[in-house]
Structure 1
Amino acid sequence: MLLAPPLFALPFPSIDPILIELGPFAIRWYALAYIAGLLIGWWLAKKLCASPALWGGKAPIAPEEFDDAVVWVAFGVILGGRIGYVLFYNLPYYIEHPVEALTVWHGGMAFHGGFAGSILAMYLFTRRRGLSFVSMLDIAASVVPVGLFLGRIANFINGELWGRPSDVPWAMVFPHGGPLARHPSQLYEAGLEGLTIFLVLQVAIRAGALKRPGTIAGLFVLLYGCARIFVEFFREPDPQLGYLAGGFVTMGMVLSLPMLALGAWMIWRARHRPALGSGTPA
């Protein structure tokens, strides 16, 4: 257990969380991460839909459908992420200060809430347009890691969501994390939840996974649950919650556990669906 400031620790890079400030208006790296994640994801999704070879024929969703879908998903992510944070991470505070629940610019977004919000948005969108909900999930899941990667890098720049105290050679003293050196857990999450999952999904897509609707979505849910639970062993829990049980269980772990079962079920269910292009309705 570390009880004193470290003798040696990597210096935290001094990056201003605000990229540009014009009077009362400020453009923050965190907001840019959300915008860039949505735009890059939109571009990649349209490329997937325009590649018949990946689907065994014409894609079940046309590329132009994402011009509207991305707006629905953006609202789902933002609203779901904020509602999830309010409900699961700091409900007593927001009950006493309800107006603060609307101040998204003050921070406080939960991935699991944004995940649920985006799924609801895609369900409503595909139902309204008469499109394949499961294939829409596959396409969205294939590009979500891009946003996760950028978001975690923005968390690191902001010096927030730091890790637990540690004496590893790459530990850092965060500006608002006290005198102890800590795991840069935001970078662990960027590498696992973002880069690693993205690469695994791209390999699966090139191997024909999109031809079995639900495979990519299930793989993403399963891998994210595993990655998040693993990183939670290095990430400092939210101070208002602390550890929930046993001195190591966190809210992030609890919310990620159902994802393991859900992801495995989705993959199993996808394997029992007829492949696209097989001549049998999926």
Structure 2
Amino acid sequence: MTEFPNLSRRGFLTRTAAVGGLLTVPGLLTACSKTDSGDGEGSKLDQLKKQGYVEVAYANEAPYGYEEDGELKGEAPTLHREIFKALGVPELRPTFSEWDGLIPGLQAGKYDVISAGMAILPDRCEKALFSEPEFVSPTAMLVKKGNPKKLTDLASAKAAGVTVGVMSGAVEKDYAAGAGISDGNIKTLQKPQDGADAVKGGRVDAFLLTSISLNWLVKNNGDLEVTEPFIPELDGKKQYSPGGAVFRKGQEELRDAFNEQLKKITSDPDRYVQLIGQYGFGKETIPPADLKTAELCKA
């Protein structure tokens, strides 16, 4: 059986979302909240089919969900567009939200689904419904071309005595420390590009982050490569960091219909990669069959 983690690389970004209520966010949010279906109007999915579109929120975080040249792109919008087309809803209509405003905006009825690759965490499950996992986020290391230190995972990094870079506030620092890498060999950086620059400049030997983010980062940074992904452990538990689509409480029927179509994609590796491989997702990011949201939502 899969061991279920409670940590996520982006978990620390959402702790303020539950404090202070709904945040005002820029973009296409309307002044008035939309309401769920009333009596006699049919199911939410029936409503979406009738109107021909579903309203989704994104946080402009590549490669998960972002706007480029007026088009909504990324892992989540691409999967969700495919799934909703199969459900008879041909169009996604996007609304931008700051990350901390995504769940409050959903609760207020500003949109129907969050399409942002949001990590499935117990505190979020208390506020909204998550789909089954769309992806897992294995960890990898960004190294110089040719991988001169021959690094494969955190155990090899410890054995080689190398300096590892991690993002400030992210869980990769815990992964490195948990693997026995000393504090003196862990360097904190502010953003992904800082990590790439540190590797190129020789200030660190490797930069630790999800393989998804590193595959995206290496596209714009020559002379670097990404090691084979691996699943780190903390206290003996594998850290998969799964993410999924998010729905309002009370819309289980819509969520379940979504899950049926999602399973058809995640059970077909070639189709999965064909859809979102361009965003750095591969067969290694397909969720294990026994990794279930119900377990991930348990505190």
Q: Normalization by structure 1: what TM-score?
A: 0.30
Higher relative contact order at CA 8 Å, sep ≥6: structure 1 or structure 2? 2
Q: Normalization by structure 2: what TM-score?
A: 0.29
The answer to which structure has the higher helix fraction is 1
